[in-house]
């Protein structure tokens, strides 16, 4: 199977929903700029009973083609194994039929494989390394300024010029023609694609875990991405304007982002177990680490998702949030990508089981 085009990703999702009673098709409410409607799957037994949920998304960055294949294959593997009463085997990592059954009986597994179909189509047919969506609203007619980096468009420290130290190497821009394609958009959630992700989280109000699948660097990242973690001083947090202009430096002396110690420990364990299961497939070493260790970010899905319980005036579930960075290339040759799919899917199955432990 070569890389899937946009139509094939959608067909894969809708076909799984039609074939398995344990899969429900979810239509996302907001069409893309080019008019595409996106779909997700809920995989679960007893779907009318709300259960703790894990939400998995992919395909936000157009050029990272394999993320969609990882998630479509993950959904298909769970559904086929559960229906057949079998386990799952990924190279040297395997799971029993009882473990597969546990995942479907105790979790709502929500899989949204293709957040950015417009961008994927453009990447696969016109410009392979295109990263953003295809919204031309801020481009001024410049083809190089079309689109928004969807993983900079979430509502977390969006005003980066105020929030971060001037010397912080935060990877974001307010220039639509930024050559690194990290333009954040005119305001948080200006784009329909992140609004669809937000809607999905609102719909599954018992979401406890979130994974955004990207490439590349062979890492499993956990929050925070804006600065180093610390669990000592709650006053040092993203809401506190006293620390504006001080975030994003690696010295750890001026500022570090507060996270409850239990959340930091649980996140590290989930990331470690993911990497261990992935390594068992064919020996590849992925690194579990805090997102900030890769580079400082803002407006990303994982930091926004974890911050929701802090910002909400309602009682919301706390969501531990992660970003997978698979592989060492955006578009590996397909024989290698097939192996990466198996590795990451093994890691995701183990992630679900560890979450339930």
H or E element: which one contains 282?
helix 261-282
Which residues lie below 8 Å from residue 214, measured CB to CB, with a gap of 6+?
58, 60, 61, 64, 67, 151, 323, 324, 325, 326
Q: Where are the domains of the chain?
A: 6-356
Which stretches of the chain score pLDDT less than 70?
A: 1
What was the pLDDT predicted at 32?
A: 98
pLDDT, one tens digit per residue, over 143-173 is: 999 999 999 999 999 999 999 999 999 999 9
pLDDT, one tens digit per residue, over 102-114 is: 999 999 999 999 9
> What topology is assigned to 6-356 in CATH?
Aminopeptidase (3.40.630)
171, two tokens:
């990877």
132, 69 contact by CB (below 8 A): no
What was the pLDDT predicted at 313?
A: 72
The model's pTM = 0.97
In degrees, to the nearest 5, what angle opens at C-alpha 213 toward C-alphas 208 and 216?
Answer: 140
Which residues lie below 8 Å from residue 333, measured CB to CB, with a gap of 6+?
none
- Numbers of helices and strands, H then E, in the chain: 9, 12
Largest CA distance in the chain: 57
Helix (H, G, I), strand (E, B) or coil at 125: helix
What was the pLDDT predicted at 312?
A: 79
pLDDT, one tens digit per residue, over 327-340 is: 999 999 999 999 99
What was the pLDDT predicted at 1?
A: 58
What was the pLDDT predicted at 48?
A: 76
């Amino acid at each position: 199977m070569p890389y899937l085009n946009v139509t094939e990703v959608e067909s894969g999702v809708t076909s799984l929903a039609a074939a398995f009673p344990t899969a429900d098709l979810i239509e996302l409410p907001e069409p893309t700029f080019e008019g595409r409607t996106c779909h997700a799957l809920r995989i679960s037994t007893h779907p009318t009973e709300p259960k703790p949920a894990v939400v998995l998304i992919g395909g936000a960055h157009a050029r990272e083609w394999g993320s969609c294949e990882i998630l479509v294959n993950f959904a298909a593997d769970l559904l086929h194994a559960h229906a057949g009463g079998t386990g799952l085997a990924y190279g040297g990592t395997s799971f029993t039929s009882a473990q597969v059954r546990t995942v479907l009986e105790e979790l709502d597994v929500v899989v949204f494989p293709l957040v950015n179909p417009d961008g994927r189509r453009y990447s696969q047919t016109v410009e392979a390394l295109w990263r953003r969506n295809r919204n031309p609203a801020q481009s001024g007619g410049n083809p190089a300024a079309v689109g928004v980096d969807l993983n900079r468009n979430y509502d977390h420290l969006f005003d980066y010029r105020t929030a971060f130290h001037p010397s912080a190497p935060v990877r974001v821009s307010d220039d639509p023609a930024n050559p690194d394609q990290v333009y954040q958009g005119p305001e948080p959630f200006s784009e329909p694609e992140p609004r669809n992700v937000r809607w999905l989280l609102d719909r599954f109000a018992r979401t406890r875990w979130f994974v955004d699948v990207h490439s590349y660097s062979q890492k499993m990242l956990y929050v925070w991405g804006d600065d180093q973690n610390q669990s000592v001083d709650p006053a040092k947090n993203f809401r506190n304007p006293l620390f504006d202009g001080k975030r994003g430096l690696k010295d750890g002396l001026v500022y570090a982002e507060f996270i409850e110690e239990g959340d930091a420990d649980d996140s590290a364990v989930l990331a470690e177990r993911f990497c261990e299961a992935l390594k068992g497939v064919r020996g590849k070493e992925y690194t579990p680490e805090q997102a900030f260790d890769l580079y400082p970010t803002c407006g990303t899905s994982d930091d926004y998702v974890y911050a929701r319980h802090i910002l909400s005036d309602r009682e919301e579930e706390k969501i531990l949030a992660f970003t997978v960075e698979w592989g060492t290339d955006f578009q590996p040759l397909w024989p290698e990508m097939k192996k990466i799919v198996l590795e990451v899917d093994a890691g995701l199955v183990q992630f679900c089981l560890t979450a339930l432990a």
